[in-house]
A and B are shown apart, each in its own frame.
Chain A
Amino acid sequence: DQQVKQNSPSLSVQEGRISILNCDYTNSMFDYFLWYKKYPAEGPTFLISISSIKDKNEDGRFTVFLNKSAKHLSLHIVPSQPGDSAVYFCAASSSGGYQKVTFGTGTKLQVIP
């Protein structure tokens, strides 16, 4: 049972435009959400996170939005740059227990110059 879902395997965006990556989750116990970026042959790197007490978190060109009622979050990248081309993983965890982090299947973003 996939608790974190990224339904778009890939996305292509023109340089300078906005990239929107989406993620849905099913477990209502999740209260902390993260985005990771992964280049080929490298480990995933942490990008941005959001707690369930917020609905938006911004860090430079990256903004994450959380809609708890819809169990949906999105990552906005503005403006998109060719160096943003990578696989993006959405992830979620809950405060209880050992705070295991559950990942989605990833979305491959291609930013076209």
Chain B
Amino acid sequence: DAGITQSPRHKVTETGTPVTLRCHQTENHRYMYWYRQDPGHGLRLIHYSYGVKDTDKGEVSDGYSVSRSKTEDFLLTLESATSSQTSVYFCAIRPGFSGNTIYFGEGSWLTVV
């Protein structure tokens, strides 16, 4: 158990609506990540954070924004959802003792119709 809670776990939304996914951790880990998983693409990094208010883009950041106003929460926002953003979204943390190993949450299934 990585101590990560993702919410919502499942969501169906309409094209053009904003959506926010929340990742909550209880261990004060500095590094947090958002990935998406799609068939044929594996896990791709969307955004990551290396501290409060410190965030940066990953390889598939277009159409997404993030915020981290406190250590325990990392929010992923789709400003105007599109069908191509239908995916499974995973949050991950990297404990300071783990070297480069990251640990994932249970995932958020998002469908954009």
Interface residues of A (CB under 8 A from B): 6, 32, 34, 36, 41-46, 49, 51, 89, 91, 93, 95, 98-106
Q: Is the CB of B41 within 8 A of A44?
A: no
Q: Is the CB of B106 within 8 A of A43?
A: yes
Q: Is the CB of B48 within 8 A of A89?
A: no
Q: Is the CB of A45 within 8 A of B104?
A: yes
Question: Given A43-B104, A95-B100, does the pair A105, B56 have CB atoms closer than 8 Å?
Answer: no
Instruction: Name the interface size band of chain B.
Output: 20 to 34
Shortest CB distance B63–A (Å): 19
Interface residues of B (CB under 8 A from A): 2, 31, 33, 35, 40-45, 48, 50, 56, 58, 90, 92, 94, 99-107
Contact of B100 among A44, A45, A99, A104 (CB under 8 A): A99
Which of A44, A91, A102, A106 is packed against the most chain B CB atoms within 10 Å? A44
Q: Is the CB of A100 within 8 A of B45?
A: yes
Contact of B41 among A42, A99, A105 (CB under 8 A): A105
Identify the closest chain B residue to A44 (Cβ).
B104
Identify the closest chain A residue to B4 (Cβ).
A43
Shortest CB distance B13–A (Å): 20
Q: Is the CB of A42 within 8 A of B101?
A: no
Shortest CB distance B83–A (Å): 21
Q: Is the CB of B44 within 8 A of A43?
A: no
Identify the closest chain B residue to A46 (Cβ).
B101
Q: Could you tell me the distance between the alpha carbons of A103 and B35 in the complex, rounded to whole angstroms?
A: 10
Q: Could you tell me the distance between the alpha carbons of A103 and B31 in the complex, rounded to whole angstroms?
A: 17
Q: Is the CB of B103 within 8 A of A98?
A: no
| Sample of 4 more A-B contacts, CB < 8 Å, known A98-B50, A101-B45 | A41-B107, A42-B106, A45-B104, A98-B48
Q: Could you tell me the distance between the alpha carbons of A93 and B44 in the complex, rounded to whole angstroms?
A: 13
Q: Could you tell me the distance between the alpha carbons of A6 and B2 in the complex, rounded to whole angstroms?
A: 26
Which of B2, B31, B43, B50 is packed against the most chain A CB atoms within 10 Å? B43
Shortest CB distance B52–A (Å): 15
Q: Could you tell me the distance between the alpha carbons of A98 and B48 in the complex, rounded to whole angstroms?
A: 9
Q: Is the CB of B42 within 8 A of A105?
A: yes
